[in-house]
Structure 1
């Protein structure tokens, strides 16, 4: 069993690292100081994404993407996660479920997204429905001309720059008929209720959308009526693994900064890293990242391989999202402590990552929801689904 990265994988990792440092890092303070990046900056990064070949890493070359395996996508996302302000979101990965669209949908939506000419946003969360899509109240009712959508969606990430939405709704109000619809953002009846502000200063916004008698043609259904729950779960799997990769990358940057600071900060005539209290903090941070990275690489390697069980992928993604999101919280908090007052300054990437990564324990399924998923799988399949080593269980 050989887990050594291939030459191609190492080269991809280095390329992603160079892209992050050369293209994304220079705009971190713009994002911090202006609570987002300007349209001009967005356009510059958009073009750089195409030039460097990081557009749509999660979609096939046939559709205009890079055709990377999940493991390769993870190598890229890990490096992108070192950038603060979620500027990594300017390197879009069009929603995975769009690959299941009709040829007409692929040509109208997916291919332009893969070429950075359009942008999608997945609309799932509601005021009283977050991690459990079955609780959604947004509904779609049959009408002349197709379906009439009514409801409200919260925290639609990149909703301010997207030009169309993938809306998870229940046909006839029935969770068994969960369905995903393509909805143009400028369609009659679609409006932004408000754009809340958050602790972090992200590159893009997370508006709340309302849908009032929005009529969409049947051709705007992704898959078929009733496919919505599985399509959204597929989206959750990819989104959770992306979060996990970025958590590991963000934690690594925090450790790098803290380790360098501890080596250069002199107190009592010696670097503070010589004090056992600080040394042990660095050790704990390092071990946390080592464990998380081992889990991340293993699971992404497995899913890139022969796992065909949709539920097993979902189960493993829940575990890795839970562990890495809580890990990065510990690492960031310790990093702030090592840097002292400097770690509390917004000009410091450690402070920004401390704020940025707090949401990773919430969005795309809270830590508590991940524990529910894991607990449910243990009841059904036994602990070996997580403690064993075989792909399929």
Structure 2
């Protein structure tokens, strides 16, 4: 049962839609050119509660469930993906680790500050040798005689690292064994000695959404920093947060695809070739039709996966299926959008040029398309074997 009624959610979603389309869309070029999020937009997002939309109300958030979260993601995907990224880790992969696995003390210390935007939380999982599969994690955590832990290792592509106040950091406490994968997750304040953040990466797209390398060199944290007080909760926490995040990313991809389609429709209605609006040409209409089908199919699949998550019917295969389809779909839609714009679609001032670059990342983070196929295929085969053994 959601904490937010359908009527209240409709009002929230409509206010976000208006903010995106009237306040943010006109600033997209500014965000991209400066590779930074304007302070006034950041403040507006805080005032609207967007830093905590998926945090439960008891901790100061809006308390949206994942079905509502996906609808909001479709609105957020309509503009520069850097906007969503600004508060995405608070609500998603980092914040959800605390919501689902944190002790009462950890939640009390951090969640209200995360929900208000006073604290930016960053999810420090990916490493140079361990990306979509956390089992390859090499960052080590060694317990000391007094109960403290010492963390050593390097993370890469960590979203919001430069602006983070808190790192939700994953580290190996022992080799994987019969008792579990040996991965714990630690709460590491950004000002902890030995933690360093490199200058943010220069990326193909998503300018304004900063990612950086993060190094842990003899970083000492107390026993109370272990999320849930459980040294084996890390892998499970990572997998749960990533699976939930995949459904959110699906909605984001649908929003971006809708924007690419809308931009294309505006263009083909007025651009002419030989005096004829190009929208009258059947091959252009075929592209538009394919784009519309992709958007509609993606929207239905994202909503279905979100509903299955909320009902707990499927929290593994459905998220991967939605993420795989929607992120591949938006890449195809963005490509067609550039195509129907012709040469102008390749120009930096056109929104579809930015969308084309921005959405390419969606097939990589929170589990690549290849990893999603393994999760889906492997999961279905495992179920089939169980059925066959009965």
**Structure-2 residue corresponding to 1:324:** 326
- Residue 58 (structure 1) aligned with residue 74 (structure 2): no
Q: Which moved more, 1:279-288 or 1:177-186?
A: 177-186
| Aligned equivalent of 1:178, options 183, 188, 192 | 183
Contact (CA 8 Å) 1:23, 1:48: kept in 2 or not? no
Deviation at 1:201, TM superposition (A): 4.1
Change (3 A) 1:329 1:129: same
| CA distance in structure 2 between the aligned counterparts of 1:189 and 1:322, rounded to whole angstroms | 38
TM-score norm. by structure 1 comes to: 0.90
- Residue 23 (structure 1) aligned with residue 23 (structure 2): yes
| CA distance in structure 2 between the aligned counterparts of 1:118 and 1:193, rounded to whole angstroms | 20
| CA distance in structure 1 between the aligned counterparts of 2:376 and 2:269, rounded to whole angstroms | 40
| Aligned equivalent of 2:347, options 345, 348, 359 | 345
| CA distance in structure 1 between the aligned counterparts of 2:351 and 2:367, rounded to whole angstroms | 26
- Residue 222 (structure 1) aligned with residue 258 (structure 2): no
Deviation at 1:351, TM superposition (A): 0.8
TM-score norm. by structure 2 comes to: 0.91
Deviation at 1:269, TM superposition (A): 2.5
Q: How does 1:180-219 map to 2 (within 5 A)?
A: 180-219=185-224
Contact (CA 8 Å) 1:138, 1:173: kept in 2 or not? no
The DSSP-based 3-state class of the residue aligned with 2:168 is strand
Q: How does 1:142-153 map to 2 (within 5 A)?
A: 142-145=143-146, 146-153=148-155
**Structure-1 residue corresponding to 2:252:** 246
Contact (CA 8 Å) 1:78, 1:247: kept in 2 or not? yes
**Structure-2 residue corresponding to 1:109:** 110
Deviation at 1:10, TM superposition (A): 4.4
Contact (CA 8 Å) 1:85, 1:352: kept in 2 or not? no
Contact (CA 8 Å) 1:125, 1:156: kept in 2 or not? yes
Contact (CA 8 Å) 1:56, 1:64: kept in 2 or not? yes
Deviation at 1:268, TM superposition (A): 2.3
**Structure-1 residue corresponding to 2:296:** 290
- Residue 274 (structure 1) aligned with residue 280 (structure 2): yes
**Structure-2 residue corresponding to 1:388:** none
Change (3 A) 1:107 1:7: closer
**Structure-2 residue corresponding to 1:96:** 96
- Residue 80 (structure 1) aligned with residue 71 (structure 2): no
| CA distance in structure 2 between the aligned counterparts of 1:124 and 1:26, rounded to whole angstroms | 34
Deviation at 1:193, TM superposition (A): 4.1
Structure 1 gap segments, 5+ residues each: 386-393
Deviation at 1:23, TM superposition (A): 3.1
Cα RMSD between the aligned structures? 2.0
**Structure-2 residue corresponding to 1:257:** 263
The DSSP-based 3-state class of the residue aligned with 2:348 is coil
Contact (CA 8 Å) 1:167, 1:183: kept in 2 or not? yes
Contact (CA 8 Å) 1:13, 1:75: kept in 2 or not? yes
| CA distance in structure 2 between the aligned counterparts of 1:286 and 1:356, rounded to whole angstroms | 20
Contact (CA 8 Å) 2:174, 2:183: kept in 1 or not? no
